[in-house]
Amino acid sequence: MTPNAELIWNNCLKVIRDIVEWQHFKTWFEPIKPISIDNNVLLIQVPSQFFYEYLEENYVNLLAKTLKRVVGKDARLEYRILVDSGISGKGGTMDVSGVGYKNVSNNEVDLPMVINNPIKNPFVIPGLKKINIDPQLNDKFTFSSLIEGDCNRVARRAGLTIAEKPGTTSFNPLVVYGGGGMGKTHLAQAIGNEVKRLHPGKVVLYVSCEKFITQFQEHSRNHTINDFIHFYQMIDVLIVDDVQFFANAEKSQDAFFGIFNHLQQNGKQLVLTTDKSPKDLSGLQDRLLSRFKWGLSADMQFPDYETRYEIVRAKMKHDGVEMPDEVVKFLVYNISTNVRELEGAFISLVAHSSLNRREIDLDLARKVLKNFVKTSSKEITIEAIQKLVCEYFDVSYEKLQNKTRKREIVQARQITMYLAKKFTKNSLKTIGEHFGGRDHTTVIHSCQTVKDLMDTDTLFKDNVMELTQKVQLASM
């Protein structure tokens, strides 16, 4: 490590630290080691191939702009990638102004790495031709990567219908609403991407409400409102994200009202997202809210266990990652706030596995999830376990206490005793007393039966594992 390289990289980190989230900074930037600087080419070392590919996919523009700022416009970046054999493979150059290549170890395999040009302001050129309009879509957001479940079925299927026949269905506008991280932006952009695939001639534009307002204000200051309005009137499918930010922006609402009417009357499609149902939005003009209600309002809810499970499995397949099923179930049970956080936990788990050169297992998953969920443990009670099991198998508490010999009730009772022994400090006698006064030998027999069935019955084992993770979650 040369002193100049370390100084330059530290200056880069000062800029990056103020831009990315703290957890992402620690995971993706702190492990990078500066090696040398020669003729404005900074050589850095990254811990693995996966690490390099993640940087390339998510932070390449940030690295390019930061290095230009610190070193100069002719700055370039080279990677050195640590490979499993312990031999360092020097990466080829990455030109921060365009396209670069890397070679791994002694294998002369060139992999292109493209740095996208910054998105150009689409409003600054009067008389802009349709063909030049950048849709500003992320091609990762597709219907194939948006797993369908009860939480999003109506919205997703409406989106597919719109993509097939934009502007011709009764779903105009489509208003997708729900809390943060539920997939609203994913669905909205998936509609745009599918329209571009099915109808290449259609002009699609995705824009955040905040960007719309900012650019409206800029054009207002420059007395070019007509250009601004004219630009939007050329769009065939307009997607506006987070329209709740129109609240109290009266002039921007006036402009959007006129654009909305023009597009609707000319058979163009509008897709809007918001954090609340249109009827619950405040600070918006009544005439605008009434138009939001003309089409379909569909909510996006947090996915249930089955859908979260499929989301993680799909992510594994897409990224070529393998992990034990018990780890997948542990993830989906413990992340219960939003999809974005679930995906973040998955990425962090894979990153820790790569950085530490360690197989993904439950111990690693528990360590990683400390950064995503509260880990202050609380004592779990027999009553709490009984409630969880009753809800899971849809049996009443009274049946769990009775002496019925129905197979489903007996197994639910045995699993409850097994979990009570595993997760509480109660004696076998105390556990038995919570099940209609049964003695300790019954508890011993139940626990052994559960263990034996887990060895021979896959479905039974899955049920016990799911309940085990539910109890773990309840104790966090």
My answer on whether 12 and 63 are in the same domain is yes
pLDDT band at 148 (very low <50, low <70, confident <90, very high): confident
Tokens of 319: 């990224």
Question: Is residue 320 assigned to a domain?
Answer: yes
Question: Is residue 438 assigned to a domain?
Answer: yes
Share of residues in the chain with pLDDT > 90 (%) = 20
The arithmetic mean of pLDDT across residues 401-424, rounded, is 87
Cβ atoms within 10 Å, residue 65: 17
pLDDT at 9: 92
pLDDT at 290: 87
Contact (CB, 8 A) for 355 and 49: no
Which residue did the predictor score with more confidence, 400 or 173? 173
Strands 33-38 and 107-114: unpaired
My answer on whether 147 and 278 are in the same domain is yes
pLDDT band at 239 (very low <50, low <70, confident <90, very high): very high
Last residue of a domain, one of 369, 398, 413: 369
My answer on whether 49 and 84 are in the same domain is yes
pLDDT at 440 over 50: yes
Q: Any residues with CB less than 8 A from the CB of 322 and at least 6 apart, and which?
A: 316, 360
Last residue of a domain, one of 64, 88, 114: 114
pLDDT at 372 over 80: no
My answer on whether 162 and 277 are in the same domain is yes
Contact (CB, 8 A) for 82 and 47: yes
pLDDT at 53 over 60: yes
Question: Is residue 362 assigned to a domain?
Answer: yes
pLDDT at 162 over 90: yes
The arithmetic mean of pLDDT across residues 151-170, rounded, is 89
My answer on whether 146 and 267 are in the same domain is yes
pLDDT at 373: 59
The arithmetic mean of pLDDT across residues 16-26, rounded, is 78
pLDDT band at 336 (very low <50, low <70, confident <90, very high): low
Question: Is residue 126 assigned to a domain?
Answer: no
pLDDT band at 61 (very low <50, low <70, confident <90, very high): confident
pLDDT at 116 over 60: no
My answer on whether 25 and 90 are in the same domain is yes
My answer on whether 333 and 268 are in the same domain is no
Helix (H), strand (E), coil (C) string for the chain: CCHHHHHHHHHHHHHHHCCCCHHHHHHHCCCCEEEEEECCEEEEEECCHHHHHHHHHHCHHHHHHHHHHHHCCCCEEEEEEECCCCCEEEEEEEECCCEEEEEECCEEEEEEEECCCCCCCCCCCCCCCHHHCCCCCCCCCCCCCCCCCCCCHHHHHHHHHHHHCCCCCCCCCEEEECCCCCCHHHHHHHHHHHHHHHCCCCCEEEEEHHHHHHHHHHHHHCCCHHHHHHHHHCCCEEEEECHHHHCCCHHHHHHHHHHHHHHHHCCCEEEEEECCCHHHCCCCCHHHHHHHCCCEEEECCCCCHHHHHHHHHHHHHHHCCCCCHHHHHHHHHHCCCCHHHHHHHHHHHHHHHHHCCCCCCHHHHHHHHCCCCCCCCCCCCHHHHHHHHHHHHCCCHHHHHCCCCCHHHHHHHHHHHHHHHHHCCCCHHHHHHCCCCCCHHHHHHHHHHHHHHHHHCHHHHHHHHHHHHHHHHHCC
Question: Is residue 375 assigned to a domain?
Answer: no
The arithmetic mean of pLDDT across residues 101-130, rounded, is 35
pLDDT at 176: 92
How confident is the model over 69-113, as pLDDT tens digits? 888 888 888 888 765 433 344 444 443 433 233 333 333 223 223
My answer on whether 273 and 149 are in the same domain is yes
Mean pLDDT, the chain, rounded, equals: 80
Domain span at residue 198 reads: 132-299
Q: What is the count of structural domains for the chain?
A: 4
Last residue of a domain, one of 314, 347, 369: 369
How confident is the model over 355-366, as pLDDT tens digits? 778 888 888 888
pLDDT at 155 over 60: yes
- Please, how many CA atoms are within 13 Å of residue 466, restricted to the half-sphere of its CB? 14
Cβ atoms within 10 Å, residue 228: 21
My answer on whether 356 and 461 are in the same domain is no
pLDDT at 312 over 50: yes
My answer on whether 153 and 100 are in the same domain is no
Contact (CB, 8 A) for 303 and 156: no
C-alpha 299/C-alpha 295 separation (Å) is 13
Strand partners, 76: 41, 95
Question: Is residue 120 assigned to a domain?
Answer: no
Which residue did the predictor score with more confidence, 369 or 253? 253
My answer on whether 160 and 286 are in the same domain is yes
pLDDT at 474: 65
pLDDT at 337: 67
Closest CA to 143 of 65, 197, 207, 210: 197
Question: Is residue 127 assigned to a domain?
Answer: no
Q: Angle CA(177)–CA(179)–CA(183) in degrees, nearest 5? A: 70
Q: What is the CATH number of the domain that holds 445?
A: 1.10.1750.10
**What is the signed CA dihedral for 163, 167, 170, 171, rounded to 10 degrees?**
50
pLDDT at 353: 81
Share of residues in the chain with pLDDT > 70 (%) = 85
Question: Is residue 124 assigned to a domain?
Answer: no
My answer on whether 271 and 183 are in the same domain is yes
Cβ atoms within 10 Å, residue 154: 15
The arithmetic mean of pLDDT across residues 320-335, rounded, is 81
Contact (CB, 8 A) for 431 and 400: no
How confident is the model over 380-397, as pLDDT tens digits? 888 889 888 888 888 888
The pTM (predicted TM-score) of the whole model is 0.53
